[in-house]
Structure 1
Amino acid sequence: MKKIVFGLAISLLVIQVIHSQGSTEYSGGYKVKLNEDGSKYFRIIAWGQFWAQYNDNVADDASKFNLSVRRARLLTYTQLNKKFLILTHFGLNSLNGNNQSAIGTGSNSQLFFHDFWGEWSYDDKHQIGAGLHYWNGISRLNSASTLNFMTLDNNRQSWAVLGLSDQFARHIGVYMKGKFGKLFYNLSLDEAGTNNLQADIVPTPDGAAIYGGRRLLGSRDAGKLVQGYFAYNFLDQESNFLPYKVGSYLGSKEVFNIGAGFLVHPNGSVVANTAGDLSGEDVSIFAVDVFYDAPLGADGSAITAYAVYQNNDYGRDFTLGTTYDSGNMLYAHVGYLLAGETDKTRFQPYVSFQNRNVDAMDDSANRLGIGGNIYFTGHHSKLSFEYSNFKYGDNDSTGVFTVQAMIYL
């Protein structure tokens, strides 16, 4: 059955961190100096997104039109000197009429820490840190910034363990990151979460694996995972000051990167034999990707292109809804920024495509997205729209149309 969703999201970024957001028309950002030369300072970001959605594929007693707060966040980071940084990211996601708490303190409250880490530099090019962090492995899209997507939103399957081993794409752990010339890297050793999207499920005899290693086998055998990502920057060098990867530079840089990454969680998943005895299966996810963003001429036109191949092994015949499954994935998108003056309204049509081979059903899942961005002031003020068509195995395809308005200052 066809489903048409009309979404309107208003996103307000009050204050920007220039290292992570990739806007091409704004080089400031709100910086509070703590000494005269500015070597001691802190920065602040705040942003929110409001959605209004229409969905004609709902139960008879449900409203087809709904309002929600998609994101409300506050992020700060502070450097007292070049050797030390602390970052805090706090907020909520998807607050709606069904999960509101009467006085804001109930079990349905969505407010939580997204990030909280401290970082120490042992020289100008290499740093180590610890805390609840976003220095993810696997691919560029697994560390995407939500403020400068080229597509309407991220490719969901690229956040490959969101809610399975982490807290909303963040792990508690220790990390190291840096660069050797044009080669950028980040590596981490992390705790796996006990409570996840399969917290109430146990494996059935000879059935599919479930992601419950730490809960069912214990933290000694299944409590840790390792992940990392490496990217070689052939042309302009990107910043790795913060982990949030830019989606489109709108032709303000000439970037060509090839990357590779991984995540390995020993005994992360659990299966049961015929007798019901449990054993662990390693979760391993690997990817290679390529990113290209460059101006095409003096007329202001530009191209943004990205492709990734990702192999997902969550254990035997693992599936969870239509989001997670053992198998492999090929995803790509390309956008073309039409010629125009940088301080005028610009238009960027794009297309994206995802194909997944799913082991459990010996079939595939496919998603096609066709859309565009109207940039009024770069990523600061834009209107985005996308039609997507998704088909999972032999299920009926689902069509979704979304419009989003976004502003940040």
Structure 2
Amino acid sequence: MKKISLNFLVTAICVVTFGKMQSQEVKDSAFVAIEKPKPKTKPIGDLKIKFNEDGSKYLKFGFWNQVWLRALENNPGTAVNGVPQETTYDAGIRRMRITATAQLSPRYLLFVQMGINNQSFIAGGGTGTGAYGAGKKATFFFHDAYNEFTVIPTMDFESKKANNFSLYLGAGLHSWNGVSRLTNASSNRMLTADLPVFNFNTIEVSDQFARQMGIFAHGEYRKLAYRVNVNKPFATNLVPAVGAGALDNNKSGKLSFAGYFDYQFFDTENRTTSFLAGTYLGEKKILNVGAGFYTTKDGTLTQPSAGVFESHDINILGVDVFAELPVGPKDKKMSFSVYSVLYDYDFGPNYIRTTGSMNPGTADPAFIGTVAKEGFGNAKYLLGTGQIWYTQTGFLLPKFSEKLRIQPYAAYTLKKMEALAQSGNYYDLGTNFLLDGQNAKVSLQYSSRPLYDGLTNTVFKRAGEFLACIQIYL
């Protein structure tokens, strides 16, 4: 009996001990599996063809596409494709671009950007649309096409040391604009789902999609970055009505002059191209203060009395501040972004413009009621003689996944236009879902705009818009 009890005890101890060892081995294996670092996906990097060993001679490409899905609250009295509609659901291509940079020598490069814009189910069609759809075959054109020469490089070619002063000169169809940071904004590194458009002060009148043709210079003196240009504005020939506000008419053909200067207090930015980011997603510590201008003689025209015309200069000033500051524990990779700009626009007496991005609407002739002075569809007042204050801010939430980052944001615009009796307040609220930084993201945004009564020039109601922007950028 004692022998059996002793054998049982020994067996029990062995079983328990072995079991514990196995359990510990399983736990240790699990612990090792958890602690073992996962292989990280290497970034794609530049799409570049190198022509020499050190990579100083190359051909680099960029591709991006921004698809929009929307629900629009149309302005009163809107018809879409001839049918009255209060709400319109649509899809479209906001931007599709291809860029190529040819650096064939450290002393010179060629930059081109091509693509389409604003193609929806009903708008954006080119000459080959045919009889069955106004939205087909959008026009593919060059956005940028310029040559650039290095006079004094940022980095000395021989010593590889940074120069205190750098100078680059270029010519062609370019976007080295003046006025503000936002006037030089990147369209694939935005904080918000889209740019506010009024940041491009002569958009699609005396420029080609925010570009003019001319000569430019840019560079840096220590932490002060500069860009200046002398351009030939595209010809405009609108004829104003008697006693009405100024319209774009630069028949005398004067040159335009523009510049933008900003001081970089913390990290400096890459100024290889003209496009400045709306957010660095916490990768940089930024505090920049800037100011700029745009001016041209006899850029607009009024008709004070029948047959009597008067030309007016265009003078635009902008001052802004941009900050992006990492906050909190480093491993959480959080950051706070804010940009604010004040524009003073002078296009001549009572000058004002409207816009509606990928606007599907036209007038409903059977509508009875108050229609918006801005027009139909999603039209709103864009800019004019007066002042505009714009502020956007965002916060990159703590990192919780290797596959997704979340960045909520908000934007506010105050427009005080000479031609309107009441200031306008515009709001945007949204969130970026970053699947791979700015290379793959989905932005969801709601925007609210005021609508003006044509008789009183005051706001009589508001309208909204839901937008989902899907971006892929390589």
TM-score (norm 1): 0.86
Across the aligned residues of Structure 1 and Structure 2, the Cα RMSD in angstroms comes to 2.2
> Residue 403 in 1 paired to residue 420 in 2?
no
Choose from 276, 294, 303 the match for 1:245.
276
Q: Which has the larger radius of gyration?
A: 2
1-structure distance, mates of 2:127, 2:179 = 40
Which deviates more from structure 2 when the two are superposed, residues 107-116 or residues 357-366? 107-116
1:36 CA displacement = 2.5
**CA, structure 1 residues 273+102, in 2 after alignment: closer, same or farther (shift >3 Å)?**
closer
1:113-169 Cα distance to aligned partner (Å, 9 max, x none):
100000001111110000000001111111111111111111221111101220000
Structure 2 counterpart of 1:44, which letter?
F
Shift of 1:383: 1.7
**1:104: Cα distance to partner?**
6.8
**Do structure 1's residue 137 and structure 2's residue 178 form an aligned pair?**
yes
Residue 384 of structure 2 corresponds to 325
Determine whether 1:151 maps to 2:151. no
Task: Give the 5 Å matches for 1:347-366.
Answer: 347-366=406-425
Contact 1:300 1:342 in 2 (8 A): no
* Residue number in structure 1 paired with 2:50: 33
With 397-406 and 44-53 compared, the bigger mean Cα shift is at: 44-53
Partners in 2 of 1:89 and 1:324 — Cα distance? 27
How far residue 43 of structure 1 moved from its aligned partner, in angstroms, is: 0.2
Question: Aligned in 2, Cα 1:384/1:356: closer, same or farther, shift over 3 Å?
Answer: same
Residues in 1 aligned to 2:430 and 2:138: alpha-carbon distance in whole angstroms: 34
Task: Return 5+ residue gaps in structure 1 as ranges.
Answer: 1-24
Contact 1:343 / 1:377 at 8 angstroms: preserved in 2?
no
Q: Is residue 384 of structure 1 aligned with residue 443 of structure 2? A: yes
Residue of structure 2 in register with 1:213 after alignment: 250
Instruction: Describe how 1:24-63 pairs up with structure 2 within 5 A.
Output: 26=43, 28-55=45-72, 57=74, 58-59=78-79, 61-62=82-83
Instruction: Check whether the contact 2:72–2:466 (CA below 8 A) recurs between aligned residues.
Output: no
Contact 1:129 1:174 in 2 (8 A): yes
Going from structure 1 to structure 2, the CA distance change for 1:239 and 1:189 (only over 3 Å counts) comes to same
Select between 260-269 and 319-328 the one with higher mean Cα deviation.
319-328
The one of 189, 193, 215 equivalent to 1:174 is 215
1:183 maps onto 2:228 in alignment: no
> In the alignment, is residue 123 of structure 1 matched against residue 140 of structure 2?
no
Structure-1 separation of matches of 2:325 and 2:383: 33
Aligned twin of 2:339: 306
Note closer, same or farther for the CA distance 1:65–1:334 as it changes in structure 2 (3 Å cut).
Answer: closer
Q: Conserved in 1, the CA contact under 8 Å of 2:205 and 2:234?
A: yes
What letter matches 1:59 in structure 2?
A
Q: Deviations over 1:26-54 (max 9, x none)?
A: 57211101122222111011222233334
Q: Aligned equivalents of 1:96 and 1:404: distance in 2?
A: 14
What code does the residue aligned with 1:346 have?
Answer: R
Describe the SS at the equivalent of 2:198: helix
The whole-number CA distance in structure 1 between the counterparts of 2:102 and 2:130 is 29
The CA distance in 2 between the partners of 1:254 and 1:331, in whole Å, is 22
**Number of aligned positions between the proteins:** 375
Q: Once the 2 structures are TM-superposed, how far is the Cα of residue 276 of structure 1 from its aligned partner?
A: 2.5
SS of the aligned residue for 1:278 comes to strand
Aligned equivalents of 1:192, 1:377: Cα separation in 2? 39
Contact kept, 8 Å, 2:317 with 2:344, in 1: the verdict is yes
**Separation in structure 1 between the aligned mates of residue 338 and residue 239 of structure 2, nearest angstrom:** 41
The answer to whether the Cα contact below 8 Å between 1:300 and 1:341 also exists between their aligned partners in 2 is no
Deviations 1:291-314 (A, max 9, x none): 001211322111010001110111
CA contact (8 A) 1:40 1:81 kept: yes
What SS does the aligned partner of 2:209 have?
Answer: coil
- Runs (4 or more) in structure 1 with deviation over 4 Å come to 101-109
Q: 1:131 to 1:90 in 2, by over 3 A?
A: same
Gap change, CA 1:236 and 1:175, over 3 Å in 2: same
Deviates more, 1:307-316 or 1:362-371: 362-371
Q: CA deviation at 1:275?
A: 4.2
5+ unaligned residues in a row in structure 2: which ranges? 1-41, 154-165, 355-380, 452-457
C-alpha distance in 2 between matches for 1:337 and 1:93: 29
CA 1:257–1:272: 2 relative to 1, 3 Å: same
Deviation per CA, 1:205-264: give whole Å up to 9, x if none. 3321111123xxx32xxx311011000000000111101111111111001000001000
Q: Distance in 1 between matches of 2:64 and 2:307?
A: 48
CA contact (8 A) 2:73 2:463 kept: no
Does 2:399 correspond to 1:340? yes
Query: Could you say what secondary structure the match of 2:53 adopts?
Result: coil
Does 135-144 or 30-39 show the bigger shift?
A: 30-39
- Indicate the residue corresponding to 2:16 in structure 1: none
Q: Distance in 1 between matches of 2:178 and 2:147?
A: 19
Contact 2:69 2:469 in 1 (8 A): no
Q: Which moved more, 1:245-254 or 1:391-400?
A: 391-400
Q: Report the identity percentage.
A: 30
Q: Which moved more, 1:182-191 or 1:317-326?
A: 317-326
